[in-house]
Amino acid sequence: MISATDTTKLTNADHPTTSLDVEQIRREFPILGQTINGKPLVYLDNAASSQKPQVVIDTLTRYYREDHANIHRAVHTLGVRATEAYEGARVQVQRFIGAERAEEIIFVRGATEGINLIAQTYGRSLLHQGDEIVITTMEHHSNIVPWQILCEQTGAVLRVAPINDDGELMLDEYEKLLGPRTKLVSITHVSNALGTIVPLRQVVAAAHDRGIGVVVDGAQATPHMKVDVRELDCEFYTFSSHKMFGPTGVGAVYGKFDLLEAMPPYQGGGEMIKSVTFEKTTYNDVPHKFEAGTPNIAGVIGFAVAANYLVEIGFDRIAAYEHELLSHATEMLSKVSEVRLIGTAAEKAAVLSFVVNGVHAHDVGTILDSEGIAVRTGHHCAQPVMDRFAVPATVRASLAFYNTPAEIDAMVVALRNVIKVFSG
């Protein structure tokens, strides 16, 4: 097995064209330097959650050591400092996704809470009996179940746009579903189970032509590509910090300001009010109207630092490097005849979902772990995708810019050993 240091050296030698200094980047992620089961950690589970650079870890520690107090109402110095850092983070996240105003960013626990918020505020006031919500076959459960709950509450109906054998959205079928009863489209930007990048501009344009608003689940996009919500022109966009190298338990919803203004609050409590009497409560301004209770202050600040970290590396370089990694991994896996890739879209993020003939995905995952290699196995919270491809589960290697071709090679070697064991 190649050591972690050798692994990164190999990268730069094999890929002299990349301007990404992967060796340096790996040093910024302390967790990556460890061994697991006596082998150098090969972390290929980034779509589930990515690792944190030192700058994010330091931000959290420093915040708790030096700056912590509750935000918004305090006149004392620490309260002011924490409030400034929290609201400053809102501006950073606004810039990160190209929103027009900081007020268009609502901090939530993550993409899951983001979609639930949109469903229970915007959706609940918009939808009536017989109205339709369009999603796709490739959605994460987070972009299915909140709409099913809303359908139960309102009598609305869920319609599902199909995907083809490569895991791409069938745009013509999608457009056919957009009818007079369609009130909302909710769609992923990048599929977590397949890696497919959805052509959002076309999706949004088709919906807008018919006066339909679009919610985008961006959980798997923001770690990999520059997102500009004004360019996409979607009504809502939601994403999670922990998938983009920031802390867990925090994320954001972007919403067009006028829509946010018109929406009812999500949860009731402190912070989201201007005044409360038993007779009447007046709600706070956007975005505070949607942020009841004490938020994850440290998490929000760390989230913004992670976003800035990505911007500093540069999405052009991240995308170019990950594209090389994906091509290498696809080629290596295609040489293993027992492996079938699930998800072969022309436009793909660095996700490789596959099944191995004769070996259950969980067995593959367990044996790879014994070699220090972390992949995810199962349905990836996307059971309809598994049904679409008639498999119970897949093995998923999901890559980040700190992964290397040598790590992919290590996975393929381990995979060949698994196959040998199971065929012998």
**Beta bridge partners of residue 52, listed in sequence order:** none
Residue carrying the six token digits 């692994």: 7
Distance from C-alpha of 377 to C-alpha of 358, rounded to nearest angstrom: 15
The residue (of 159 and 376) whose beta carbon lies closer to ligand PLP is 376
E-state strands within 190-245 = 213-217, 236-240
Tokens of 109: 């626990």
Distance from C-alpha of 259 to C-alpha of 13, rounded to nearest angstrom: 51
Q: Catalytic site residue 151?
A: no
The residue (of 251 and 372) whose beta carbon lies closer to ligand PLP is 251
Q: How many residues does the chain have?
A: 424
The residue (of 300 and 418) whose beta carbon lies closer to ligand PLP is 300
Task: Give the max Cα distance, the chain.
Answer: 75
The residue (of 134 and 412) whose beta carbon lies closer to ligand PLP is 134
Min dist. Cβ of residue 65 to ligand PLP (A): 27
Distance from C-alpha of 187 to C-alpha of 342, rounded to nearest angstrom: 20
- Whether the ω angle into residue 247 lies within 30 degrees of 0, i.e. cis, is no
The residue (of 240 and 377) whose beta carbon lies closer to ligand PLP is 240
Q: Which residues of the shown chain bind ligand PLP in the complex (CB under 6 A)?
A: 110-112, 140, 142-143, 188, 192, 217, 219-220, 240, 242, 381
Give, for 188, the enclosing helix (H) or strand (E): strand 182-188
Min dist. Cβ of residue 187 to ligand PLP (A): 10
The catalytically annotated residue of 149, 381, 391, 413 is 381
Residue carrying the six token digits 């002011």: 80
Please answer whether residues 143 and 113 qualify as being in contact, where contact means their C-beta atoms are separated by less than 8 angstroms: no
Q: Where in the sequence numbering do the catalytic residues fall? A: 381
